[in-house]
Amino acid sequence: MSIEENLNKIRENISNVTLVAVSKTKPIEDLKVAYDLGQKDFGENKVQELIDKVEALPKDIRWHFIGNLQTNKVKYLVGKVFLIHSLSSIKLLRKIEDEFSKKNSVANLLIQINIGKEETKGGIFEEDLENFIIEIEKCNSCKVKGIMSIIPKGSNEENRYYFRKIKNIYDDLSNRSFKNITMEILSMGMTHDYKIAIEEGSNLIRVGEGIFGKRNIVGGLTNG
């Protein structure tokens, strides 16, 4: 199926849900096709690739950084990224605070939660969330807008179990008041499970293969 057919199919299945087109490894031409079809949110997981695409594509695109973010790369994202999905450690939080404050800029962030406690995935554990919140509240240039999680691979029932666990965390935080933290975005669900994720409360999905087709790379952790 074409990019247009794929986008139309997904849009038929979602309502009041933000669709982030995961465009990592995909050529500029593919992104232009999606953009011309009205797609404005794109997700990248490599800093240099994101920067290259920012410079080559229209300025009204909202760029989402969805990959593991190394502290030495944070400075390159200032002024270029709409939302960082992978806030996963206090060390990274402090580096983002430092680099964005230097430029009098604000970083919009999602806390990444490793709900399945998988060694191959980033994110904090649920039991570490309270200490993490304390550190976020000390910041001036970091604003958390919600949470993100990549669940373990499993059956539909297992997927639903983890999505519900994440939604419960989101709801709990939504009912509390914090400095620098608001629960606006619940980012969960990718190409193969986004329908279940939406049923369980997701309001942002990350879809790559379902829009652009399979990637021609081997290894690494997929994020769409």
Residue 221 inside a domain? The answer is: no
pLDDT exceeds 50 at position 81: yes
Q: Which domain holds residue 152?
A: 3-212
Residue 224 inside a domain? The answer is: no
pLDDT in tens, 147-203: 999 999 999 999 999 999 999 999 999 999 999 999 999 999 999 999 999 999 999
The pLDDT of residue 206: 97
Residue 24 inside a domain? The answer is: yes
Q: Is 126 exposed, middle or buried (0-12, 13-18, 19+ CB in 10 A)?
A: middle
Residue 82 inside a domain? The answer is: yes
The pLDDT of residue 149: 96
Q: Which amino acid is at 26?
A: K
Residue 217 inside a domain? The answer is: no
Residue of 6, 72, 50 whose CA lies nearest to 212? 6
pLDDT exceeds 70 at position 216: no
Q: How far apart are CA 52 and CA 207, in angstroms?
A: 21
